[in-house]
Structure 1
Amino acid sequence: MSLTRRQVSVAGLGAPLALALTGPAEASGRGRTLYIAGDSTAAQKYADAAPETGWGMALPFLLHRHLTVANHAVNGRSSKSFVDEGRLEVILSSIRPGDLLLVQFAHNDEKTADPSRHTEPWTTYQRYLRLYVDGARARGARPVLATAVERRRFDADGRAVPSHGEYPAAMRALAREERVPLLDVQALSLALWQELGAEKTKTYFNWTATEQDNTHFNPPGAIAVARLVARELLRTRVLAPRDVRRLDDRIPESWITWPESVA
């Protein structure tokens, strides 16, 4: 059954998300739920956006079935606007003891011209992130911070260059201060883009005949970033070996699907 954009949006503002957002990792019984709060790099995409793919769409293929992925990430949101729109409160109304809240923001926090989204790394960004950390802990859930995945940027010498300014450092400092597990996706993705090089990375981002998108992923890119996330969840002992699967296996691109949507 196909879901409309409205139906999936309503799911994202209510109970834990349905199959369109959780993929094949729906729990046996309830199990635990891993909630994602984030932006377009992680979000569910729809048929009108294909082949654009959020890494949250690929993460369920790397987790065992007793873990449900509830992907609440939404295009264009920052740590601030996600809270101001009531989206964090929706998660906190559903999250339960033992669940996980994985938080990745920075891309839109960086937009200085938009006061509805902009935050400053060492002040308002950290203050908003604390709302996620404190909210999860108050409900017996475990917060997890993930530095923002890197854009595809290379200098004239072919070196992958960072694009997120002080935001990753501010998140790392907050994670240390609050003793929150940190997934350093920014550093790992930057290293991966460097390893792949300027040309090969085009096959991981949403480069099409009509678009050259250096921020959002296609299926191979989303799968690669989801693999970084899963490995970090294992490395930081947020998840145990029994919770993850296929870390070294090929994930077929055909497993990625995009629900139909209506305007």
Structure 2
Amino acid sequence: MKKTTIFLAGDSTVQTYKTKDFPQCGWGAMLWKYFSDKDVVVAHPGDTEFDNVTRYEMADLVIDNRAMAGRSCRSFFDEGRWADLLKNVSEGDYVLYQFAHNDANKEKEERYITPDAYKDKLINDYINPVLEKKAHPVLVTAIAMKDFDDKGRCRISFPEYREKCLEIGSELGTGVIDLGKKTADYNTAIGEDACREIYMNLRPLMYPASSEGKGDNAHLRAEGAFIYAGFVYEELKKLL
């Protein structure tokens, strides 16, 4: 019997990292923990040329994480990563997409895409081909960065791109997990100081991979990735 597979397409905030990069972690590396309390088989599939791909196989479910740092929906597609993922999608599978962190970067021509073009590309190149395979596309709005206003509220990141995802969900009935709002609300609730403990805000010598320290407000530590994966799980189980 074929196992249902949940495919993940996205950027560095979703990606599975090498051990040497610890504590940096994407929520895609933690999602399986909410589906199983037993050991999983973690492996690199043999049918892909991309070395970042990580597959988590459980008794009745597979999570196949194809997310890669620095990719937008444009560059993920242009590099052939999307075609590599799509060829493996079967009827009944789920495909989650989380972009926007790199799509909004006007300084990187190979990544940048306007919000309107982002919407069109998601529909035509990402959603429709999955529907043709009788699988289930699910949009995930980009996680919030650690970005607080002067009233102590965490801002929703890349709001124009988030709005396009919500529009697609409303217009097409596509599943949408509003992770951007959920993470911004969570960050506001715990406060900016606590947020430093889940993002890559590292003091010097804390970890071998970042001996000089870091002030990274976009990427997650393992703790943050686990929490955010829980938000995805709670919404995803409503769609499964």
TM-score, shorter chain, exceeding 0.5: yes
The alignment's TM-score, normalised by the length of structure 1, stands at 0.77
- The SS at the match of 1:194 is helix
What is the aligned partner in structure 1 of residue 46 from structure 2?
none
2:224 aligns with one of 221, 226, 247: 221
1:133-189 CA-partner distances (Å, limit 9, x unpaired): 111111121101111111011122322122213110111001211210110101111
Question: Which segment drifts farther, 213-222 or 156-165?
Answer: 156-165
Residues 104 and 113, structure 2, Cα contact 8 Å, conserved in 1 = yes
1:79-130 CA-partner distances (Å, limit 9, x unpaired): 1110111111111111111110001100000101222111111x21012211
Structure 2 residue identity aligned to 1:223: F
Residues 92 and 139, structure 1, Cα contact 8 Å, conserved in 2 = no
How far, CA to CA, are the matches of 2:121 and 2:67 in structure 1? 16
The aligned runs of 1:1-263 (5 Å cut-off) are 30-64=2-36, 65=58, 66-121=60-115, 123-130=116-123, 131-209=125-203, 210-234=213-237, 237-239=238-240
How far, CA to CA, are the matches of 2:189 and 2:61 in structure 1? 31
**Percent of matched pairs sharing the same residue:** 31
How far, CA to CA, are the matches of 2:121 and 2:12 in structure 1? 18
How far, CA to CA, are the matches of 2:82 and 2:234 in structure 1? 25
Residues 198 and 221, structure 2, Cα contact 8 Å, conserved in 1 = yes
Aligned residues: 208
How far has the Cα of 1:68 moved from its partner? 0.8
The alignment's TM-score, normalised by the length of structure 2, stands at 0.84
